[in-house]
Structure 1
Amino acid sequence: MAHDHHQHGHDHRGPEHGHAHDHADIDWADLAPLLEAQAELYTPLYRQAMAWLAREVTEPGLVVDVGSGPGVVSCLFADTFPGARVVAADGAAPLLDRARDRAARLGLADRFGTLAGDLPGVLGELDHPADLMWASQSLHHLGDQRAALAALAGHLAPGGTLAVLEGGLPARFLPRDLGIGRPGLQARMHAVEEDYFAEMRAALPGTVAETEDWAALLTAAGLKHTGTRSFLLDLPAPLTDEARAYVATSLSRLRDRIADGLDATDRATLDRLLDPADEAGVHRRQDVFVLLAHTVYTAVRPA
């Protein structure tokens, strides 16, 4: 569906990154501005991916964004493929309200639709099979990813393309040695995130352990794997105010999720980083950056 950093982060694999299923304890309307801010910040990366897809997919009639969140990426698809109808599908209706509003503001409403409901089942409401289907960090929120891929493949037109964004490299914001605390803080945070992600996967209904070989999984779904590319988001220091605010919010949400997995020294360092009055904090220091990579796998349904 969407991402919260870790979506549709917001660590790269946070539990709100994809909205493939309903999270009853999450207020999506409250979270929507953060999801939009992340997707807008990541737009250079998405545009790289779409330029690649545009060379692989010729004039699609229907593009479906599976786990669209508030529709930032869906609208980028509408811009990339001006002849296409775009459908944003997500389990969180408040985010789809934002998606429709965005499409209207951008003059895209006449070829923009939404589907609200659990994924992938809600895709059964599509009027036509998709020529291009995009699933960005939504599959890992479904218990049986292999079955989900098979379901997505079933909604592709013959010759249609499924593009899956999963994996890559987690976002880095901080230098290894911050001048406070122990060096390597963010690497240790990433390790805790991996454990958190594994626990999230294990708790999903109907979860199935799966080797994350996406090319093989796409092949098992009856598709022909056609390409794998990774795309970089590189926002060097000094950051814009918007990017700095994103880093601060992301680290704050991350602290709420994983603080118990850090030792007292690392928690204290993170608290200093999040203190707006601290010269060593991310609100003031000049060496904060954003660097990450997302990997996209493409596969085609045989004609």
Structure 2
Amino acid sequence: MNGRQGESAMTVTGRANGGEDVAHGAGAGAGQGDGHKHGHGHGQGHGGGHHHGGAEIDWAVMAPVLEQNAEVTAPVYREVAAWLREVRKTRHVREEGGARGARGARAEDGGREADRPVAPDLADPALIVDAGSGPGVVSCLFAEEFPRSRVIAADPEEALLERTAARAARLGLADRVGTHRAELPDGLGELPPADLIWAARSVHHVGDQGAALAALADRLAPGGALAILEGGLAPRSLPRDFGVGRPGFQARLDAATEDWFARMRAALPGAKETTEDWRALLTAAGLRHVATRSFLLDLPAPLDDAARAHVISTFERYHTLAEDTADGDTAGTDGLDPDDAATLGRLLDPEDEESLHRRADLFLLTAHTVHVAVKEN
């Protein structure tokens, strides 16, 4: 499966992740794919969107940053892949047992349905679609973790799809990783039904999240699974009191970016207020929720260069949001008070001894939550 799977470039409204967003989640650029996000936590997906803080983004320039951010979070995505394999194995065993009579299967297996051997091809989805793939870090990672699967990286941005194709070729995965240019979720309609759709922090960049989930569910093959990365915990990278400004600085950044996120959501086309009970939303989309799990990214101090750069890029996004607000951009946050703004400036100044570039106490701790639901046969 080489080259483009399709070309259906559509209107884009608000980008999420291939890395992460700045509010809601976990870590800039950690997002799924890799993150064309807004900042600290909305993840991978590309939920759409050419504008980032009111400015047009050059994704060819941004792609290396997104790749580096996603690579820092790669251990989490490998854990997710292993967990998805186990969820898939368990489902197949239970379905097989159900076909023979649920009670008889349980008695025969001593109540350990998931312990019986399952053919490898049942654990590896035939087709995985990475919806909002960014530069394809997670697309290629899934191809490595599921060696019998084909993977299609779907994203609106041609520059990011080109990075995906180059990465797949470099890793020897070009025969199993293809690309598809499309806005999400409607642009997936040209693809064959998928056995697994992965959407990391892309759904919340669609105005009607319920409709987005229903559209993704419609692209599943019978028995296929939709795995979404939404929610989790905002990242922490500094002690509560780190010697600059008032203690509790990151908590106040969280409050500011939550306000920005609410404004971003309200400005999306067709925006609907939705209680973000992902299990209920997946059920309303016609799927059966089967599992939810959170995955911890815990990188203690001192950080290596890549992780430090990841944290710095997150705080740079905070700074961009604060500047947008100061310029009167209603898509920004409510801003920071002067003391916190000064603290943020010091943290980003490479010449300051207290900056993120120099601190020995910098760490990265965050949690990513994945919800899985299946389309009944």
Instruction: Name the TM tier (shorter chain).
Output: over 0.9
Is 1:3 equivalent to 2:19 in the alignment?
yes
The residue type paired with residue 353 of structure 2 is: E
Q: Percent identity?
A: 59
Q: For residues 205-259 of structure 1, what are the alpha-carbon distances to aligned partners after superposition, in whole Å with 9 as ceiling and x for unaligned? A: 1111100000000000110000000000000000001111221222112211135
| Alignment partners' CA distance in 2, 1:73 and 1:148 | 21
Q: Does the Cα contact within 8 Å between 2:45 and 2:131 map onto a contact in 1?
A: no
Provide the alpha-carbon RMSD of the alignment: 1.3
Q: Does the Cα contact within 8 Å between 1:2 and 1:18 map onto a contact in 2?
A: yes
Q: For residues 41-100 of structure 1, what are the alpha-carbon distances to aligned partners after superposition, in whole Å with 9 as ceiling and x for unaligned? A: 000111111110011222210000000000000011101110010000011111111011
Report the more deviating stretch, 24-33 or 167-176.
24-33
**SS of alignment partner, residue 232 of structure 2:** strand
Q: For residues 186-214 of structure 1, what are the alpha-carbon distances to aligned partners after superposition, in whole Å with 9 as ceiling and x for unaligned? A: 10001000000000000001111100000
**SS of alignment partner, residue 196 of structure 1:** helix
**SS of alignment partner, residue 215 of structure 2:** helix
Shift of 1:4: 3.9
Q: Residues 121-270 of structure 1: matches in 2 within 5 Å?
A: 121-126=186-191, 128-259=192-323, 260=325, 261-270=335-344
| Alignment partners' CA distance in 1, 2:317 and 2:163 | 22
Shift of 1:284: 1.0
**SS of alignment partner, residue 55 of structure 1:** helix
Is 1:67 equivalent to 2:137 in the alignment?
no
Shift of 1:287: 0.5
**SS of alignment partner, residue 40 of structure 1:** helix
| Alignment partners' CA distance in 2, 1:256 and 1:130 | 37
Corresponding residue for residue 9 of structure 2:
none
Corresponding residue for residue 97 of structure 1:
162
**SS of alignment partner, residue 84 of structure 2:** helix
Q: Does the Cα contact within 8 Å between 2:297 and 2:365 map onto a contact in 1?
A: yes
Q: Does the Cα contact within 8 Å between 2:130 and 2:152 map onto a contact in 1?
A: yes
Task: Could you tell me which runs of 5 or more consecutive residues in structure 1 were left unpaired when the two chains were aligned.
Answer: none
The residue type paired with residue 213 of structure 1 is: D
| Alignment partners' CA distance in 2, 1:193 and 1:75 | 31
Q: Does the Cα contact within 8 Å between 1:196 and 1:258 map onto a contact in 2?
A: no
Match among 353, 359, 370 for residue 279 of structure 1: 353
CA spacing shift, 1:210–1:5, aligned 2, 3 Å: closer
**SS of alignment partner, residue 167 of structure 1:** coil
Corresponding residue for residue 83 of structure 1:
148
| Alignment partners' CA distance in 2, 1:219 and 1:265 | 45
Corresponding residue for residue 109 of structure 2:
none
Q: Does the Cα contact within 8 Å between 1:228 and 1:298 map onto a contact in 2?
A: yes
Q: Residues 22-37 of structure 1: matches in 2 within 5 Å?
A: 22-24=49-51, 25-37=56-68
Q: For residues 149-204 of structure 1, what are the alpha-carbon distances to aligned partners after superposition, in whole Å with 9 as ceiling and x for unaligned? A: 11111110111110000010011111110111100111000100000000000000
Shift of 1:22: 3.2
Is 1:44 equivalent to 2:75 in the alignment?
yes
Shift of 1:3: 2.8
Shift of 1:146: 0.5
The residue type paired with residue 358 of structure 2 is: R
The residue type paired with residue 287 of structure 1 is: D
Shift of 1:282: 1.0
| Alignment partners' CA distance in 2, 1:92 and 1:166 | 22
Task: Could you tell me which runs of 5 or more consecutive residues in structure 2 were left unpaired when the two chains were aligned.
Answer: 1-16, 23-30, 89-122, 326-334
Q: Does the Cα contact within 8 Å between 1:22 and 1:92 map onto a contact in 2?
A: no
The number of residues matched between the two structures is 300
**SS of alignment partner, residue 109 of structure 1:** coil
Shift of 1:23: 1.5
| Alignment partners' CA distance in 2, 1:263 and 1:105 | 47
**SS of alignment partner, residue 294 of structure 1:** strand
Q: Does the Cα contact within 8 Å between 1:274 and 1:282 map onto a contact in 2?
A: yes
Corresponding residue for residue 299 of structure 1:
373
Match among 43, 50, 56 for residue 87 of structure 2: 56
Q: TM-score, normalised by structure 1?
A: 0.96
| Structure exhibiting the larger radius of gyration computed from Cα positions | 2
Q: Does the Cα contact within 8 Å between 2:20 and 2:201 map onto a contact in 1?
A: no
Q: For residues 130-165 of structure 1, what are the alpha-carbon distances to aligned partners after superposition, in whole Å with 9 as ceiling and x for unaligned? A: 001100000011111101111111110111110000
Q: Does the Cα contact within 8 Å between 1:3 and 1:137 map onto a contact in 2?
A: no
Q: Does the Cα contact within 8 Å between 1:54 and 1:80 map onto a contact in 2?
A: no
